[in-house]
């Protein structure tokens, strides 16, 4: 079968899903028993194995309790340096269209058998090939549409002179495996490592006479140095775009501030209009009261005038 794809994306790292602690909608439960677990170790046990001695040695040298590390997993979870507690990659050969797990009779397809053989060798050789990536959980799934591996690993770097001597650091771990220190987002140790792992998968396919293309790889027909050069340009463009986005965000914030100020002023104007209307009504009421008082005064004066006239008339007789 020609033209199948190799996929090597980063995974979500859901160990509960990988280990079938719950069954998702895309899983065929009747085939879950076909899955293969290469290694399944708890994160706590894995961290104890990888960093336990380093943590104890570090704590022994601390005089203040607040500087001691009580839980290295929690420390990594709350790290400001961008480390992950662990990392995951999903390895897959083919798609559900050219490499389905089962045929119409529910039997394992020949394409799936080829994929299982390849993925099995990849999983079994992963740790030897990657000594600084501690493989603590690895599962082959055959209860979904296409055979695939979940590779979960913890980067282990040692030789630090200050602090813990052995730490979780993906960049340092890969550097200690021989990859050059990264220069940017698209030119770093992880990019180089992923390229090497894809090349290894390609070699496994060639050995088996499987023609493949790499899915999700932006390199196309570029060599790795050419790809890095292109990605550096992309990185510069993305940095410029990010700068423009920040400027646009600042302008939007200013616009929102002006709109809020205008809204506040509009509210103040409305309040003043209401107040003015109240004053106008009060003035009208006072005017009516004054007019009523003047009318009463005028009527009183007229009554007095008539009284005075009557008095004058009586005195004249």
For the chain, the average pLDDT equals: 86
- End-to-end CA distance of the chain: give it in Å, rounded: 145
User: C-alpha angle with apex 95: 208 to 185, nearest 5 degrees?
Assistant: 90
Beta bridge partners of 133: 155
The answer on pLDDT for 102 being more than 80 is yes
pLDDT of residue 236: 57
Instruction: Report pTM.
Output: 0.69
Q: Which CATH number fits domain 4-217: 3.20.20.70, 3.40.50.1370, 3.20.20.80, 3.30.930.30?
A: 3.30.930.30
Classify the phi-psi angles of 158: left when phi > 0, otherwise alpha if psi is within -120 to 50, otherwise beta.
beta
Those residues whose C-beta lies under 8 Å from the C-beta of residue 11, and which sit 6 or more positions away, are 88, 89, 90, 150, 151, 152
- Per-residue b or e along 110-124, where b marks 16 or more CB atoms closer than 10 Å to that residue's CB: ebbebbbebbeebbe
The answer on pLDDT for 1 being more than 50 is no
Distance (Å, rounded) from C-alpha 42 to C-alpha 49?
11
Instruction: Indicate the angle between helix axes 189-207 and 110-129, nearest 10 degrees.
Output: 130
Q: Pseudo-torsion of CA 270, 273, 278, 283, nearest 10°?
A: 180
Q: Which of 126-135, 180-189, 269-278 has the highest mean pLDDT?
A: 126-135
Question: pLDDT higher for 290 or 175?
Answer: 175
Query: What number is the average pLDDT over the span 50-72?
Result: 95
Query: Which letter does DSSP use for residue 11 in this model?
Result: P
pLDDT of residue 274: 77
Strands 212-215 and 4-7: parallel
206, 214 in Cβ contact below 8 A? no
Q: Which of 115, 108, 145, 83 is nearest to 6 (CA)?
A: 115
Render 39-107 in DSSP notation, one character per residue. EE--HHHHHHHHHHHHHHHHHHT-SSGGGS-S-HHHHHHT-SS---S-EEEEEEES-TTTS-SB-TTSP
The answer on pLDDT for 141 being more than 50 is yes
pLDDT of residue 221: 46
Q: What is the pLDDT of residues 249-298, one digit of tens each?
A: 667 667 777 777 777 877 787 887 777 777 777 877 877 888 887 888 78
pLDDT of residue 273: 77
Those residues whose C-beta lies under 8 Å from the C-beta of residue 94, and which sit 6 or more positions away, are 1, 4, 5, 111, 115, 146, 147
pLDDT of residue 296: 80
Q: What is the pLDDT of residues 203-234, one digit of tens each?
A: 999 999 998 875 555 444 445 555 555 555 55
User: Which whole-number Å values give the CA distances from 231 to 80, 159, 181, 217, 234, in the listed order?
Assistant: 26, 32, 16, 12, 5
Q: Band of the pLDDT at 155, cuts 50, 70, 90?
A: very high
User: Which whole-number Å values give the CA distances from 11 to 25, 27, 239, in the listed order?
Assistant: 18, 17, 26
Question: pLDDT higher for 300 or 108?
Answer: 108
Q: Which of 166, 163, 174 is nearest to 47 (CA)?
A: 166
pLDDT of residue 297: 79
The answer on pLDDT for 199 being more than 50 is yes
């Amino acid at each position: 079968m020609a033209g199948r794809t190799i996929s090597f994306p980063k995974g979500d790292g859901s160990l509960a899903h990988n280990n079938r602690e719950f069954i998702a909608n895309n899983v065929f439960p009747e085939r879950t028993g076909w899955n293969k677990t290469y290694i399944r170790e708890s994160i706590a046990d894995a961290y104890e194995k990888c960093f336990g001695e380093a943590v104890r040695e570090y704590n022994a040298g601390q005089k203040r309790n607040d500087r001691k590390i009580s839980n290295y997993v929690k420390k990594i979870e709350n790290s400001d340096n961008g480390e992950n507690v662990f990392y995951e990659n999903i390895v897959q050969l083919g798609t559900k269209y050219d490499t389905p797990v089962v045929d119409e009779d529910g039997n394992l397809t020949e394409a799936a058998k080829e994929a299982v053989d390849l993925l099995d060798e990849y999983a079994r050789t992963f740790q030897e090939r990657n000594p600084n990536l501690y493989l603590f959980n690895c599962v082959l799934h055959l209860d979904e549409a296409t055979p695939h591996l979940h590779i979960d690993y913890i980067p282990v770097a040692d030789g630090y002179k200050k602090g813990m001597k052995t730490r979780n650091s993906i960049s340092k771990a890969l550097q200690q495996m021989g990859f050059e220190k990264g220069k940017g987002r698209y030119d770093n140790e992880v990019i180089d490592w992923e390229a090497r792992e894809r090349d290894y998968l390609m070699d496994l396919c060639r050995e088996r006479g499987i023609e493949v293309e790499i899915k999700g790889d932006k390199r196309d027909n570029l060599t790795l140095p050419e790809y890095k050069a292109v990605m550096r340009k992309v990185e510069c463009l993305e940095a410029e775009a990010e700068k423009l986005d920040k400027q646009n965000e600042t302008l939007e914030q200013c616009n929102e501030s002006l709109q809020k100020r205008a809204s506040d002023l509009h509210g103040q104007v409305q309040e003043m209009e209401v107040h003015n209307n109240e004053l106008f009504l009060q003035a009208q009421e006072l005017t009516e009261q004054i007019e009523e008082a003047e009318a009463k005064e005028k009527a009183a004066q007229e009554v007095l005038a008539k009284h005075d006239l009557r008095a004058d008339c009586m005195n004249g007789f």
